[in-house]
Amino acid sequence: MTMIELGSEALQDLQDWRHDFHRHPETAFEEHRTAARVAALLREWGLEVHEGLAGTGVVGVLRGALGEGPAIGLRADMDALHVTELNEVDHASTHAGRMHACGHDGHTTMLLGAARHLAANPDFRGQVVFIFQPAEENEGGARVMMEEGLFERFPVQAVYALHNWPGLPVGVAAVHGGPVMAAFDIFKLTLRGKGCHAAMPHLGKDTLLAACQLVTQLPALIAREQEAHKPAVLSVTSFHAGDTFNVMPEEVKLLGTMRCYDMTQRARIEQRLRDTVAAFATLHGLEADLDYQVRYPATVNDPAHADACAAVLSDLLGDDHVRRDLPPSMASEDFAFMSQACPGAYIWMGNGEQSASLHNPKYDFNDALLPIGVRYWVKLVTSLLKDGRLPPAKA
């Protein structure tokens, strides 16, 4: 497969777009400036452009010059995080308390670069649907786009996405043949008892004691009740109770999250959490209000489509730069809503071994990855759509 050429002007454009997005981060469903810029560029290159799915989503459609064939979707996320940037760079965030701490500025830029190249060189059959999605972080923009008819309006037979991955060298990619990112649930628990003077605890109902015992017991729901070969995580991430020295608080509030890959296991853990909370409340004479919210499903690659992506990456990067042995992540990805609807694959591309971790205030997307991502998208399209036949799904 021929290596596509990206001249100095094209490389400079990629960096300029990425830095512009980074300076102007917009969080979930507020990506108005970003979406307008994306739509304008796609129109400039002659794509059919649709705006407004999930509020700020943008879809560009490009038909190949070689005739009829299947349609594939390529997805990039556009939103930023509520994080205060600590980088001292010229393109640092100009919006207080918001930054691109996960690299979605780079993801958007790479897909734009691929759209421009393919629009000028549509040497494929069928069509490509470029999906620029809002609100990946926590708010499920992919789910909203699906609920608003994304794949009914733009039917595709396969869908693909990528994410930069700190810790992997630039020029190295990872492809999983099954689960790649975990399901993501959250819970809010309020325990209510009877407040009293701290010197007379027998006059109250101790919410603090119950909550402390509960927090230490919850790991056993994973360590002693789940199959060891099915990873899961249950974490309490916030504990709030009382605000002074001599008062036993009437109320304790806990926040937490649960992650796993198996959906049957997911339902079982939720039920056991409910059972445990109810038992502790009864034991201590408390009222318990558990709000358990099912958020993102697990992101699971179709093996045949993962193999196709790996073959493209091997041709692009070399066999020894494509990892098939990395464990999946317990982080989550709302691309799962798209990959549940049709087969595809979600890959990781190295952002550099020394780069800060995702969601860190000193994180910055590595510009050296931009041309690699563009070449990957272009090669994937021309490989999959050269003869109008997609890999048969195995899932």
pLDDT tens by residue, 151-160: 999 999 999 9
User: What is the rounded average pLDDT of the residues 220-233?
Assistant: 93
User: Is residue 6 very low, low, confident or very high in pLDDT (cuts 50, 70, 90)?
Assistant: confident
Q: Which CATH number fits domain 183-296: 3.40.190.10, 3.20.20.80, 3.30.70.360, 3.30.70.100?
A: 3.30.70.360
User: Is residue 375 very low, low, confident or very high in pLDDT (cuts 50, 70, 90)?
Assistant: very high
User: What is the rounded average pLDDT of the residues 323-345?
Assistant: 97
Q: What is the pTM assigned to this prediction? A: 0.93
- The 344-352 sheet, strands edge to edge: 48-53, 57-63, 127-133, 71-77, 158-166, 344-352, 173-174, 322-323
User: What is the rounded average pLDDT of the residues 121-138?
Assistant: 97
pLDDT at 100 exceeding the cut of 90: yes
CA-CA distances (angstroms) from residue 281 to 144, 187, 370? 36, 16, 53
Which tokens go with 155?
A: 């039917």
What pLDDT is recorded for position 64?
Answer: 97
pLDDT at 394 exceeding the cut of 70: no
pLDDT at 70 exceeding the cut of 70: yes
User: Is residue 392 very low, low, confident or very high in pLDDT (cuts 50, 70, 90)?
Assistant: confident
Q: How far apart are the C-alpha atoms of 315 and 311, rounded to whole Å? A: 6
What pLDDT is recorded for position 1?
Answer: 42
What pLDDT is recorded for position 395?
Answer: 52
User: What is the rounded average pLDDT of the residues 324-353?
Assistant: 97
Which CATH superfamily is 8-180+298-384 part of?
A: Zn peptidases (3.40.630.10)
Q: By percentage, how much of the chain surpasses pLDDT 70?
A: 99
pLDDT at 225 exceeding the cut of 80: yes
User: What is the rounded average pLDDT of the residues 363-392?
Assistant: 95
User: Is residue 7 very low, low, confident or very high in pLDDT (cuts 50, 70, 90)?
Assistant: confident
pLDDT at 310 exceeding the cut of 90: yes
For residue 288, what is the enclosing H or E element?
A: strand 287-296
Whole-number average pLDDT of the chain: 96
| Distance from the first to the final alpha carbon of the chain | 28
pLDDT at 243 exceeding the cut of 70: yes
User: What is the rounded average pLDDT of the residues 271-276?
Assistant: 97
User: Exposed, middle or buried, 7 (CB in 10 Å: 0-12/13-18/19+)?
Assistant: exposed
Q: What is the pLDDT of residues 9-52, one digit of tens each?
A: 999 999 999 999 999 999 999 999 999 999 999 999 999 999 99
User: Is residue 184 very low, low, confident or very high in pLDDT (cuts 50, 70, 90)?
Assistant: very high
Query: Where do the domains of the chain lie?
Result: 8-180+298-384, 183-296
What pLDDT is recorded for position 120?
Answer: 97
pLDDT at 388 exceeding the cut of 90: no
DSSP conformation class of 99: B
Q: Is the sign of the CA dihedral 141, 181, 296, 356 positive or negative?
A: negative
What pLDDT is recorded for position 338?
Answer: 98
CA neighbor of 346 nearest in space, from 110, 173, 154: 173
What pLDDT is recorded for position 3?
Answer: 64
What pLDDT is recorded for position 317?
Answer: 97
Which tokens go with 230?
A: 């099915």
What pLDDT is recorded for position 387?
Answer: 83
User: What is the rounded average pLDDT of the residues 63-89?
Assistant: 97
Helices of type H across the chain: 8-23, 32-44, 104-120, 141-147, 150-153, 207-217, 220-223, 263-284, 303-317, 336-341, 370-384
Q: How far apart are the C-alpha atoms of 203 and 197, rounded to whole Å? A: 8
